[in-house]
A and B are shown apart, each in its own frame.
Chain A
Amino acid sequence: MLKTLRKRVTRPIVDRVRYEPFGGIVSVLNPPFLAWVTRDYMRQLGYTDSPLWKGDAQDTHTLSAPTEAHCSLTNRCSQHCSSCYMGSQDSFCNELTTEEWKRFFDTLRALGVFHVALGGGEAFLRNDLLELVLYCKEIGLVPNLTTHGQCLGEAEIAICKEMGQVNLSLDGINDQYHCNGRRGSFVAVDKSILALKKADVSVGLNCVVSKKNIDHLTDVVEYAKQVGLNEVEFLKYKPTGRGTLNYTNYALTQEMIRSIYPIILELGNHYQIMLKMDCSFIPAMVFHDPDKEDLEKLGVTGCDGGNSLMAITAQGYASGCSFVAGKEKLITINEDWQQLSPFRKFKEIVENAQEPCKTCAHLALCRCGCRAVALYYGGAFSSPDPECPRVVDYRSKEKTI
């Protein structure tokens, strides 16, 4: 990212702008960023007032449409990793066709979505991947991709060149590669990364953090720094798909959850590489009371499914997030999308919050923690994330009273 910025022009070219009740979102591609701006800033940019600006401008969280959509293009994957969060293996018999995906992308574009994150299964197992990627670009959606990166040949690298960024799954280096039950090899991923870098593709890593690799995160960051990657995103190991099997063998302990934010912050400070934590880690982050204003300025979001995020499965089931299965086929979604039940239940998390979330100073940002975790433990949709340190402390205090 910094390298891109150094090369950068002094005046950015705006790719798209979307009106929002608070003002708007400005999308720039080079360098890539989204900026939430006020009504006044929009006016100064030359935009006329929008009907969306009739009401209050205070709420800068609720959006008119997601900024990104996560698309599982197929359930098929050759790797069959033992803890795959999607439980991917074979294609579903009724996966969306090329034309159906294109219709869905049209809908996203009409809503004002900026980016799509393509994944699977393994998206490269779809023969029409290039066609879908080019279609996204043609209609103004930025395609990004997650791949296991086990077998990227020339054709795959050429497709990657069309992406905004490509992230490869990597939970550990060398022998640690398999720590979370991942199949394949580090050597193959390393080879793919070098080929992608050579082709000037923007590359990052997705690293799932579990009990098995929390002590080895330095190696992953050091590797990313060494080979010149854009970023490393740390994802919490979650109990969905095959991840529910032997969850306790992999799930971070409370002590680990409490220590993960300082560990990652320290790695970022030391190695000077962009590091991200995924939304399910927000309770672990806010436990350390980082500066709220800084978090807001960086657009830190907790469980934001159904607001900035929408997910769709290979069969066309829509949901607020890929970790929470949707049961309704919603290929064509209209402007009232947030009222549809798979999204509404995410929207209502805050108003239905229970203690200790209800009175937690971080509720607006965290939104009760990860729904995938709460649901796994049998909670209601808006119940507190039982792995949040504040929730653990609250419950143990309640027990002793």
Chain B
Amino acid sequence: MKKKRIVLPKGVIKIKPGYNPNSSSIGTVIYSFPLVYIVLSTIAALLTALLTSKKKNRNE
């Protein structure tokens, strides 16, 4: 399966999914496909929804 490029919504620079319970160093998510792609795309959609809901609230 061909790896797809990560696409983030306009205005989102980077996303760090999850927590880092490791108390010694910083963990970096490995871009395995398609799981991480799905996780990031879902978070990206949530971030878009966040703006949409804000705009909607302002218009109401």
Contacts and interface: CB of A to CB of B under 8 A. Distances in A.
Contact of B21 (A46, A117, A267): A117
Contact of B23 (A117, A230, A231): A117
B29 to A, nearest CB: 5
B23 A278 contact: no
Contacts of B35: 2, 268, 272-274
Given A44-B54, A275-B32, A2 B39 contact: yes
Nearest to A233: B27
Interface string B1-19: 0000110101111111111
A298 B28 contact: yes
Contacts of B26: 68, 278-279, 301, 304, 308-309
Interface residues of B, number: 44
Interface string A184-222: 000000000000000000101010000000000000000
Contacts of A275: 29-30, 32
B6 A146 contact: no
A300 interface: yes
A246 to B, nearest CB: 20
B6 A298 contact: yes
A8 interface: yes
A83 to B, nearest CB: 13
A255 B37 CA distance: 29
Contacts of A239: none
B16 A297 contact: no
A175 interface: no
Contacts of B23: 70-72, 117-120, 144-146, 322
Contacts, number: 219
Given A33-B18, A272-B32, A298-B28, 15 more contacts: A26-B47, A32-B18, A33-B43, A36-B15, A41-B10, A117-B21, A146-B24, A163-B21, A167-B22, A264-B30, A268-B36, A274-B36, A278-B26, A280-B25, A282-B28
16 contacts: A14-B50, A40-B11, A41-B11, A115-B20, A202-B19, A264-B30, A269-B33, A272-B35, A275-B30, A276-B29, A276-B30, A277-B30, A293-B6, A297-B13, A301-B28, A323-B24
Interface of B: 5-6, 8, 10-36, 38-40, 42-43, 46-47, 49-51, 53-55, 58
Interface of A: 1-2, 5, 8, 10-12, 14, 22-23, 26, 28, 31-38, 40-41, 44-46, 60, 67-68, 70-72, 85-86, 115, 117-120, 142, 144-146, 163-167, 202, 204, 206, 230-231, 233, 235, 261, 264-265, 267-269, 272-282, 285, 290-291, 293-301, 304, 308-309, 321-323
